Chain A
Amino acid sequence: MRDKTHSEQVERWANYVKNNPDWKKKLKPFLDSQIIISRRIYKKLAETEEGREKIKLLRGLKS
């Protein structure tokens, strides 16, 4: 179970989103960065045969 301060942070941020129309602009870099980092890792893995096998394992790709 996460602690009290975590729960308070969830509440603090939800109130920020509710009351500030610029929330999307603030959140966009955070959300995009996770996808960008993930894509970067997949690109790096795809450079080697071993990496490509790992991608298949990670994503359940068709062979």
Chain B
Amino acid sequence: MMDRKVSDRTILDEFAENFCEIVEKYVKYIVCSGFVSIAHGRSRGTEDIDMIIERIPKEKFIQLHRDLEKKGFECMQSDNPETIYEDYLVNGDSIRYTLGGGVPPEMEVKFAKDILDEEQLKTRKKLPFTGLDIYFSSIESNIAFKEELLKSDKDMEDAKHLRIIYKGEINEEIIKKIKKDIRILRLKKNER
């Protein structure tokens, strides 16, 4: 269990930890993108937390969805887990869960779509600096995606923030390799 005072938990922390605790019972997941930076102290807001999960059979997803519903989470796309699975997840679209009524925050969930996502799941880790009991994609992976694929001002600043927090601990060779994979797999660039 991570060591942190209860009073320090933000609304986002509590929402994320409660959601992840349920998901972990059914499928391997990672939390990635903006919330990784926010959990490391980036002073910016967000309404959604991004989650990638392994591709699972429909029956298993239905069990997961039912469990989330029992704990008060509501999917904004549909109440019907078969519809959610067939019309959204397997098509590569994300689904969004809130704690009812569609009010923030929300968890944006999608299936791993390629070997880049699968690699992120394989190398997932808990990051003690955050004080959160959540699996995140690696810092190297977050920096690579923000600097090579996303590239908005906000994303570049997120990457800069993470680089300062983990100064001296970041493996630049791993970042280079992920960036190369991003160029080939996501940006469809020929690297020969």
Contacting residues of chain B (59-118) with chain A, CB-CB under 8 angstroms: 76-79, 96, 98, 101-105
**B76 in contact with A28 (CB, 8 Å):** no
Which residues of A are found within 8 Å of B11, using beta-carbon distances? Answer: 31-32, 35-36
Chain A contact residues: helix, strand, loop or mixed: helix
Which residues of B are found within 8 Å of A43, using beta-carbon distances? Answer: 103
Complex: A62 Cα to B78 Cα, angstroms: 6
**A31 in contact with B45 (CB, 8 Å):** yes
User: For this complex, into which size category does the number of interface residues on chain B fall?
Assistant: 20 to 34
- With contact pairs A14-B164, A17-B165, A60-B76 given, residues A46 and B101 touching in the complex (Cβ less than 8 Å): yes
Residue in A11, A18, A31 whose CB lies within 8 Å of B160: A11
Which residues of A are found within 8 Å of B188, using beta-carbon distances? Answer: none
**A30 in contact with B43 (CB, 8 Å):** yes
Q: Is A48 an interface residue (CB 8 A)?
A: no
Residue of B nearest to A30 (CB): B43
Contacting residues of chain B (37-51) with chain A, CB-CB under 8 angstroms: 38, 40-43, 45, 47
Q: Is A5 an interface residue (CB 8 A)?
A: no
Which residues of B are found within 8 Å of A32, using beta-carbon distances? Answer: 10-11
Q: Is A25 an interface residue (CB 8 A)?
A: yes
**B164 in contact with A18 (CB, 8 Å):** yes
**A13 in contact with B76 (CB, 8 Å):** no
Contacting residues of chain A (7-63) with chain B, CB-CB under 8 angstroms: 7, 10-11, 13-15, 17-18, 23-25, 27-28, 30-32, 34-36, 38-39, 42-43, 46, 55-56, 59-62
